[in-house]
Amino acid sequence: MTSRSLMLEYVSRTAYWLMVLASVWILLRGHNAPGGGFIAGLVAVAATALLAIVYGVDYARRRLPLQPLQLAVAGVLLALISGIPGAWDGNPFLTHQWWSIEVGNNVFKLSTVIMFDVGVFAAVWGAFATYLFALLDDQGEVT
């Protein structure tokens, strides 16, 4: 970007983290309320797009948890792994398992579903970030 907008730059750095935080929230609430991995992934992509447009591709890429293609592949692998415990018990692949952990008076529910949804989230985020960087970037290497 040749012409920079000070306001946009100032806002976008904060907005990025807020959007990523929101996306994680949307991801986690998805099981009982509108949301879920796919939508959360799209919100995260929007956050990354904001950074990429304002600060450039390299900057946005450094803010990702992994390189975009690695993120996408890691997501697919995570979803794949989440299906294995069910298959281990003789059920069909991707039969989700639930565990309850009691801490004091609170009951925390853990399940392979969360893992699967995180996989969806990462796959969407990584894949669309790859597209985004490849389309936007004019000089550097996209990986």
Partner 1 sequence: MSHADARASANNRDMLWVALVPLGLFVGLVWALSSIPLPWQLQLVWVPSLGVGLDWYIDALSAQFLVLIAGIGTMVFIYASGYMEHDANAGRFFILLLLFMTAMVGVVSADHLLVLFLCWELTSLISFFLVGFKHTDEQARASARQALFITLGGGLALLAAFILLAQIAGTWSLQAIIASGPVLLEDPRLPVVLVLLFIGCFTKSAQFPFHFWLPNAMSAPTPASAYLHSATMVKLGIYLLARLDPAFNELLLWEVSLISIGTITAVWAALLALRERDLKRILARSTVSALGTLVLLIGLPNEEAALAVIAFLFAHALYKAPLFFVAGNIDHATGTRNIDHLMGLRRQMPFTTLAAILAGLSMAGLPLSFGYVAKDVVTAAKSGTDLLALVSYGLLFVNGVAVAVAAVAAIRVFWGPANPAFVKVREVSWRMLLPPLLIAIVGLEFEFMPEFTDPLLIDAARVMAPGADIGGLIASHSFGTFATAAEVTLVIGLVLFLFWERLHRYLSGLTRLDRYGPAAMFERMLNGLTRVAAWHTKALQHGNLAGYMRLTLAVLLLLGFGGWLAGETDGSVLWAGLWSGYDQGWALVSAAVLISAGALAAPFLHDRLALLMVIGLVGYGSAVLFLFAGAPDVAFTQFMVETVLVVVAAAVLPHYGAPTRYPEPRLLNAAVALAAGMGTFILLAHMFSLPADRSLAEWFAANSLTEAHGRNVVNVILVDFRALDTFGEIAVVAFSALAAWPLLRTMRKRRSAS
- Write out the residues near partner 1 by the rule CB under 8 A: 30-39, 42-43, 45-46, 49-50, 52-53, 68-69, 72-73, 75-76, 79-80, 83, 93-94, 96, 98, 109, 111, 113, 116-117, 119-120, 123-124, 126-128, 130-132, 134-139, 142
Least distance to partner 1, CB of residue 10, Å: 19
CB-based contact 41:121 (threshold 8 Å): yes
Dihedral sign computed on CA atoms, order 74, 75, 81, 87: negative
Which is nearer to partner 1, 13 or 114 (by Cβ)?
114
Least distance to partner 1, CB of residue 72, Å: 4
Which is nearer to partner 1, 10 or 135 (by Cβ)?
135
CA distance 81 to 116: 8
Which is nearer to partner 1, 13 or 56 (by Cβ)?
56
Residue type, 62: R
Least distance to partner 1, CB of residue 6, Å: 19
Least distance to partner 1, CB of residue 138, Å: 6
Torsion angle (degrees, nearest 10) of CA 11, 17, 19, 22: -140
Structure-block tokens of residue 128:
């669309």
Smallest Cα–Cα separation from 1: which of 50, 42, 47, 45? 50
